[in-house]
Structure 1
Amino acid sequence: MNLIQSFKNFPRQITAFLQPNDLSKVAALYTHDEWPRLRFAHRYQSHFAPLKWKKLKILAIGIGGYEDHTIGGEALKTWKTYFPNSMIYGIDIVDKRYLEEDRIKIFYGDQNDESFTKDILSEIGGLDIIIEDGSSANEDHIKAFYKLFPVLNEGGIYAAENIHHSYWPSLGGKWSDFGKENLWLQSWVKLGGSLDLNDPKTVMNMFKRLVDGLNYEEFINPGYTPSYFDRNIVSLHFYHNLVIVYKGNNNEDSNFIENNTLQPFVLEMLGVNSLDELGLEFPKIKQQAE
């Protein structure tokens, strides 16, 4: 950081020193052109404050700055400052290893490379917080969640940022013609979003389906087998452009359902001896990827 930037940051450093538990104040230390890199700091505050002094392993996918060496890594530095006892890891498809410092380790590679991520996870071990802000493509968001959520430790938190591309039209039709000569704009039209708010291929609809899984014990559907995500997600928190998912043991019993069928006392109240007598049709419930 140059002398001018240090001088600009001095008031922020004083504020962050006086209010170290305020994540927004800490994030303001690391800015570029007056823009805080950690734009969701105010959302993360209530989720991360109870964990501040713990010894955690935090993985951030996407470091920022693209090939520009003057920016990038602001969020990593924010996490390092806010979590003084934690180890911060970063992944980026652009080589950002020059940003490494004490308690910040950076891996250079593609988040969709199975061998690359397997080696990283083998080295790091279980994680406590994962912040996904890498590829904006819906397919990549979904793959990342299915692959990385299982490696979270019990009580871990998974955050998916910048999911607005769920709502952008997919490549096809006239949309493909926009930005033909601009590779950056072309990448936008390949994001796999949809104008259909119920399109199952979008990351937002993946998270919507996970909400039902919170209540799998309440499904009236004999023979239903809960998925890994049914059993290991205890809450989801939705914000504008951000979803936060908590990992835990989702095993709270239902008051009326057991093994996805009505308990005998409920059947008795209905005046029947079995679920079959109700003449219900049970739709096949599509499982989340294991």
Structure 2
Amino acid sequence: MLDEGTAKKKTPINLTDLADRFGSDKGSTKHRYTELYHLLFHPYRGRKINFLEMGLLIGGPEQGNDADRETTDLPSIRMWLEYFPKAHIHGLDVSDFSWFDHDRFTFHRCDMDDRAAIAKSVAAMDAPDIVIDDASHASHHQQNAFLEIFPKLPSGGLYVIEDLRWQPDTYEVPGITKTAALLRSYIDTREFQHSDPAVAAEFNALIPEISACIVHPVKYQKKRRDQVAVIHKR
């Protein structure tokens, strides 16, 4: 039988439970990314960090819809605001989410095709401690964002890229090296290999800033192709 003190203890917050409550596909109903994220992010929970998520709601231009579509919810942003009670959450998307009002949330509208626009958006925020790229999933968009944002992270920062095994026909550039293959080349050879030598050179220039690059399969099933990457800032 539990004593009175034990009975009054609150159940620790669990990120997967929050994802399921708010309707995020990062939880148990689909990808199960939140199991990994809870492991990685829990030490940051009580800190005044800056958190950036790119790609805020499924169903944008990557699925053939207009960038000016009507948006009605921010499931993952609601989740992050509750999980990180002291963090300032930044959201970046090609569609408009400026209607969402919260004193710890700032929205940045940005087209990932435009590296200068990405750089401008990041310059308008304090350096993010954690970044999640869940935007269009187009390879060049992922690579544009990484090259502009990763150098801004402080030491110990985490940069996450989701859904590496899916790229949208609406955006994907023919012949481009997929981000999964780019990261795998670094994991295997300690050098980034890319079809565009200039892009390869930019990534290789960042190697001294990388302390770890880990790629996990979705749902932790080895038969799955590369799915989510975590890069740690030295």
Name the TM tier (shorter chain): 0.7 to 0.9
Hey, what's the Cα distance between the residues in 1 that align with 2:45 and 2:16? 14
What RMSD over aligned residues (CA atoms) do the two structures have, in Å?
2.7
Amino acid at match of 2:211: V
| Residue 216 of structure 2: aligned partner | 239
TM-score, structure 2 as length reference? 0.73
How many pairs were matched up? 194
Maintained 8 Å contact 2:19/2:76: yes
Amino acid at match of 2:18: V
| Residue 109 of structure 1: aligned partner | 110
Maintained 8 Å contact 1:58/1:88: yes
| Residue 169 of structure 2: aligned partner | 188
| Residue 21 of structure 2: aligned partner | 29
| Residue 63 of structure 1: aligned partner | 56
Deviations 1:177-221 (A, max 9, x none): xxxxxxxxxx52652477xxxxx711011111222338xxxxxxx
Maintained 8 Å contact 1:27/1:36: no
Hey, what's the Cα distance between the residues in 2 that align with 1:56 and 1:193? 38
Residue 39 of structure 1 and its aligned partner are, at CA, apart by 4.6
Maintained 8 Å contact 2:115/2:148: no
Instruction: Flag the structure with larger Rg.
Output: 1
| Residue 198 of structure 2: aligned partner | none
Structure 2: runs of 5 or more not aligned? 1-9, 61-68, 192-202, 218-226
Amino acid at match of 1:231: P
Maintained 8 Å contact 1:91/1:111: no
Identity %, equivalent residues: 21
Residue 119 of structure 1 and its aligned partner are, at CA, apart by 2.5
| Residue 125 of structure 2: aligned partner | 124
| Residue 87 of structure 1: aligned partner | 88
| Residue 155 of structure 1: aligned partner | 156
Hey, what's the Cα distance between the residues in 2 that align with 1:76 and 1:32? 9
The answer to whether 1:53 aligns with 2:55 is no
Residue 32 of structure 1 and its aligned partner are, at CA, apart by 7.2
Hey, what's the Cα distance between the residues in 2 that align with 1:117 and 1:192? 19
| Residue 4 of structure 1: aligned partner | none
Residue 243 of structure 1 and its aligned partner are, at CA, apart by 0.5
Hey, what's the Cα distance between the residues in 2 that align with 1:56 and 1:38? 25
Maintained 8 Å contact 2:24/2:76: no
Hey, what's the Cα distance between the residues in 2 that align with 1:246 and 1:233? 6
Deviations 1:54-97 (A, max 9, x none): 111111111114434333x1111111111111100001111111
Structure 1: runs of 5 or more not aligned? 1-16, 167-186, 195-199, 215-225, 249-290
Hey, what's the Cα distance between the residues in 2 that align with 1:39 and 1:191? 25
Residue 118 of structure 1 and its aligned partner are, at CA, apart by 2.6
Going from structure 1 to structure 2, the CA distance change for 1:151 and 1:243 (only over 3 Å counts) comes to: same
Hey, what's the Cα distance between the residues in 1 that align with 2:57 and 2:211? 30
Question: Which structure has more RCO (C-alpha within 8 Å, separation ≥ 6)?
Answer: 2
| Residue 205 of structure 2: aligned partner | 228
Deviations 1:219-241 (A, max 9, x none): xxxxxxx9432211111221121
Hey, what's the Cα distance between the residues in 2 that align with 1:37 and 1:91? 23
Report the 3-state secondary structure (helix = DSSP H, G, I; strand = E; otherwise coil) of the residue aligned with 2:117.
Answer: helix
Going from structure 1 to structure 2, the CA distance change for 1:37 and 1:121 (only over 3 Å counts) comes to: farther
